[in-house]
Amino acid sequence: MGAFKETKLPADAPAAQKALGWVDDRFPLTKLWNDQWGRYYAPKNFNFWYIFGSLAMLVLVLQIVTGIFLTMHYKPDANLAFASVEYIMREVPWGWLVRYMHSTGASAFFIIVYLHMTRALLYGSYRKPRELIWLFGFAIFLCLMAEAFFGYLLPWGQMSYWGAQVIVNLFGAIPLIGPDLSLWIRGDYVVSDATLNRFFAFHVIAIPLVLLGLVAAHLIALHEVGSSNPDGIEVKENLGPDGHPFDSIPSHPYYTVHDLFGVSVFLLIFSAVVFFAPEMGGYFLEYNNFLPGDPLKTPLHIAPTWYFTPFYSVLRAVTADFMWVLMVAVAAYVSFLWLKSKLAFRTKAVIAVIAIVAIIGMLPQVLDAKFWGVVFFGGSVVILAFLPWLDHSPVKSIRYRPTWHKVLYALLALTFVALGYLGTQPPSVIKTIVSQAGTLYYFAFFLLMPWWSTMGTFKKVPDRVVFHAH
């Protein structure tokens, strides 16, 4: 090992510079800053869609800080949890603000993450060489869903209690292991003090640690291959004499200012919600959750928080009658694969066998619709992970795709919002039919993407990024 070498600074150097030099000799602080932001070169044509990554980081910090202050006063005990939340709201100085910031922050987090994922869909940010970035991002999304689910029980309100009861019971639909799995998750035969304690441990310690690790991996992978851009052009293919891409600029100060403006706008909206509409009409904080959880009194309509409802609608759409439609859809899709896919014969045969087993399993005498609802519920989330291998379009960005591609993306967005709304409403015949139609379109969009993404007349992608100074 080499001898320790200390950076020599002039005797009249400022004290701050000397302190920084002392740290840099022992820890690569300046190098980390330059590598990850200060001298990280990013494409010069970023638009407003690119502020959501930094906003997600801001909200993550906000949630951790407010969460720490909430745990100082919260009691993870079935007999004391609801009263401790009331104590925070009424007696702890500024406790109401911290609680509302945390509850609003949860919804803000999902809004930002959904918009961040929308940007990836629009500009093909999941395409080669950024597949691993997308997979880390997908893992972060799963962690956020788990974090929100575990945290939702903690206030011990009516909707928290019964929402957890319903969701945990869904695992009971899994053949053979379902009942035991539900019992293991709850820690009891019903949602009780044991459930609350383990959910508290996961929400406060386990999931945040995993989440922070995944965020770090997401950022390291991003800065390794470079950021995407609205044109879907790899700027690293055109390097200048300084070794940096022609069409890139340093993140600091340019995107520091860009992101600070986005942060300012976000904080303005966030503050307005926190101070004037923290319940957001019952979508951010349900009215039933202002009542203590009562195992003997079931709410008329039990639904998860709004950010889960698009996937919850998929679960509810899978009824006994709809199973026949799904059987036909599976058979039609496998037939289409055999006719149009370039997969190897062995792969096609394996897929066909799996499909036949699934169709037999969909018969009412074999497995009930509740089980398949859980399967499609999980599938509607997991299918997002496969996007890098489903999209075969010759161009990355939606800017250079056919107009009808844009219509398909717009319909997907409308379907997702519609499913989200229907998931918050009591079920009815018409709403169930609409949910079923939305479910079919949602899966068709992704499962047929390898074919429709290559069809149509594509615009020529320019050699250099398109940039207009503001």
Q: What is the dihedral of CA 305, 108, 390, 316, to 10 degrees?
A: 10
Distance CA 105, CA 98 (A): 10
470 is in an annotated binding site: no
203 is in an annotated binding site: yes
Helix (H) or strand (E) holding 250: strand 248-250
Distance CA 306, CA 271 (A): 20
Q: Kindly write down the DSSP assignment for every residue of 16-61, as one continuous string.
A: HHHHHHHHHTTS-HHHHHIIIIIT-EEETT--GGGGHHHHHHHHHH
Positive or negative, the Cα torsion across 381, 383, 388, 393?
Answer: negative
Helices (H), 318-402: 322-340, 345-362, 369-382, 387-390
Exposed, middle or buried, 285 (CB in 10 Å: 0-12/13-18/19+)? buried
- Smallest CA-to-CA distance from 156 within 200, 188, 187 is with 200
116 is in an annotated binding site: yes
- Smallest CA-to-CA distance from 301 within 282, 320, 319 is with 282
SS3 of the chain: helix, strand, coil, percent, to 5: 70, 0, 30
Q: What is the dihedral of CA 331, 336, 338, 341, to 10 degrees?
A: -140
The crossing angle, in degrees rounded to 10, of helices 95-123 and 403-424 is: 150
Distance CA 222, CA 234 (A): 13
DSSP-derived letter for residue 73 is T
Annotated binding site: 102, 116, 203, 218, 223
Question: Binding site membership for heme b: which residues?
Answer: 102, 116, 203, 218
**Sequence ranges of the binding site for a ubiquinone:** 223
